[in-house]
Structure 1
Amino acid sequence: MSSTESQDRNVAWFTERPDDSQLSTDARHLLERYSGIPAKDVVDHVIKIRNEAWKIFPYPCIGQFRFLDMSMKHTKEYPELLERLSKGQRLLDMACCFGQEVRQLVADGAPSENIFGCDLRKEYVELGYQLFRDHNHLRSQFLTADIFDESSPLVELQGTFDIVYAGSFFHLFDYENQIKVSTAVAKLLRPEKGSMILGRQIGAVKAGTHDHKTNPTGKMYRHNPGSLQEMWKKIGDDLGMSFSVDASLHVLATDHFRFHTDDTRRIHFVIRRE
């Protein structure tokens, strides 16, 4: 995608200002209480950071302020994550963008030194420090890495994480590349029963490949629970491991259907090593 295209705001997935559904109560509380941003300044502060991020790459989650969803907090596993982190386990937020989920965990009492973030673009990590104003005190570590790069910092961390969170990440790829990426993420897990990958992504009632302009291959494979279970059975067989997969489809907000097909859903998943 060219630099001109990357700055074009005349697309269905760009919103000039966040509405109440895009700037959630959770996000407001985090920015006001954790970051110390006055309530009257929150919207303008978010827009300023978002506009800088849009110049880097026009992901739909950037254009529609979806990085403010704070989705991890609303999973049924969230209390488990906080407890495990408090006991010294380690979590990696894969494709962390601004590290918003990292900050939510820390704000809710998780030890920041047990939480890592990783993104392809270092600029997003730096914008995260600007968004949350915590460069001088956050102890979490952020990595810049390409999941396909066999010499990236992630390789040295294989087998060291108890939990990997992958929000809006796997769906950036077509089916074959999802297998490659998912395999690489599985290798990051500690080789113990209960190590887990959880997250969400765009799915569909009927699994299949769709065109998607902002994805690296121009394609997106949208899973349903059955296809996700089948893929992880293949990954487990190839790795000599066994995984349980709990996945469910959820209805999207109506604004998504400006650029998605009618059977598009969001799929939530929890993948545990057995």
Structure 2
Amino acid sequence: MAKAENEIQSMLSKGMDPKELPWYEPTIDEIPEPAKTILENYSKIPSDRVLQHVVDVRERAYSVFPYPCIGSFRFLDLSIPQSPVYAEVLQRLKSGEKLLDVGCAIGQELRQLVYDGVPSENIYASDLRRDFFDIGYDLFADHETLNCNFIVADIFDSDSELVKKLTGKVSIVNAASFFHLFPWDKQVEAIKRVVTLLRPEPGSLLIGRQAGRTDPEDPDDKENAPGNYRHDLATWKRMWEQVERETGTRWQVDSWREDWQGVDKGFDKYHANVESFKLRFVVRKL
């Protein structure tokens, strides 16, 4: 379990109601695009019911585990279509290559891909909790039509179904709001696992986003290392240099920062003393 999850569990063990956690928003004023279009056109939810439908299903997801991205409705900010390599991703998946969405939660990113024409059989997704998969089917009303391959797995388990089924098999991995759940050393371990899942050839891709911060801690200060390490662009690059040394592989690491917007604006209000941003990345095997 991620250190961040342990910290949430610690809060709950002290008797705190999950809805008292600082990232919980009871409702949302409007559904952002492109999530709104997917729910209306792909899921066929009537436009006048979409908002309440999302709020109701979100409550179920939050009861499974009160992640900040669920409590703040941040899962509605789809990461994949905002990637500068999205057109390439679509072309490659439509041509038969495979994608894994790691830490997929309710699988919102997958529905964007399918809506844009990717055969769902070419998509894999993994998460710790099977309940999220069923809730995703209910949110997007596609129990009978979606054929994505969902795998319950821990990224750190070397004997998991993820490792058994996908080692060296996928061309693209998407990781949205995932690596920042872990301390530095565990992020390195998780990325090294991703390296083994990707096909061992030039062009394999890792894409995604996570929360960053402008003044990250010194990763060499193990005594005061944070439970969920948040990078700036320099430390993200430094971590990949470590991955290259330890795996004997080479990667082109492109990353950039964006300000919080829309449903993201309140995401970090419980870190009021930290200046944070959205860190996006495209990492390509050389």
TM-score by length of 1: 0.92
- Work out whether 1:8 is the aligned partner of 2:8: no
CA deviation map 1:49-95 (0-9, x unaligned): 11111111111100011111112111111111101111111100111
Residue number in structure 2 paired with 1:249: 257
Work out the CA distance in 1 between the residues paired with 2:238 and 2:57: 39
Coordinate RMSD, CA, aligned:
1.8
Counterpart secondary structure, 2:277: strand
Work out the CA distance in 1 between the residues paired with 2:240 and 2:107: 26
Residue number in structure 1 paired with 2:157: 149
Work out the CA distance in 1 between the residues paired with 2:172 and 2:244: 17
Number of equivalent positions: 266
Work out the CA distance in 2 between the residues paired with 1:192 and 1:31: 36
Work out the CA distance in 2 between the residues paired with 1:133 and 1:62: 19
- Work out whether 1:47 is the aligned partner of 2:59: no
Residue number in structure 1 paired with 2:78: 70
CA deviation map 1:172-216 (0-9, x unaligned): 001111111111111110001010101000111222279xxxxxx
Counterpart secondary structure, 1:18: coil
Contact 1:170–1:201 under 8 Å retained in 2? yes
Residue number in structure 2 paired with 1:181: 190
Residue number in structure 2 paired with 1:258: 269
Contact 1:168–1:201 under 8 Å retained in 2? yes
Residues 231 and 136 (structure 1 numbering): CA distance in 2 closer, same or farther, change over 3 Å? Answer: same
Compute the displacement of 1:25 (Å): 2.3
Higher relative contact order (CA 8 A, sep 6+): 2
- Work out whether 1:192 is the aligned partner of 2:190: no
Counterpart secondary structure, 1:248: strand
Aligned counterparts, 1:1-274, within 5 A: 1=9, 2=12, 7-20=17-30, 23-156=31-164, 157-208=166-217, 219-253=227-261, 254-260=265-271, 261-274=273-286
Residue number in structure 2 paired with 1:214: none
Compute the displacement of 1:219 (Å): 1.5
Contact 2:100–2:123 under 8 Å retained in 1? yes
Contact 2:204–2:285 under 8 Å retained in 1? yes
Give the percent of matched residue pairs that are identical in Structure 1 and Structure 2: 40
Compute the displacement of 1:103 (Å): 0.6
Residues 226 and 47 (structure 1 numbering): CA distance in 2 closer, same or farther, change over 3 Å? Answer: same
Moved more, 201-210 or 77-86: 201-210
Compute the displacement of 1:230 (Å): 1.1
Unaligned runs of 5+ in 2: 1-8, 220-224
Contact 1:251–1:265 under 8 Å retained in 2? yes
Compute the displacement of 1:7 (Å): 4.6
Work out the CA distance in 1 between the residues paired with 2:14 and 2:28: 24
Contact 1:6–1:58 under 8 Å retained in 2? no
Contact 2:169–2:197 under 8 Å retained in 1? yes
Counterpart secondary structure, 1:249: strand
Unaligned runs of 5+ in 1: 211-216
Work out the CA distance in 2 between the residues paired with 1:136 and 1:105: 17
Counterpart secondary structure, 1:201: strand
Residues 151 and 257 (structure 1 numbering): CA distance in 2 closer, same or farther, change over 3 Å? Answer: closer
Compute the displacement of 1:11 (Å): 2.3
* Amino acid of the structure 2 residue aligned with 1:173: F
Work out the CA distance in 1 between the residues paired with 2:23 and 2:132: 19
CA deviation map 1:6-30 (0-9, x unaligned): 752122201111133xx20211110
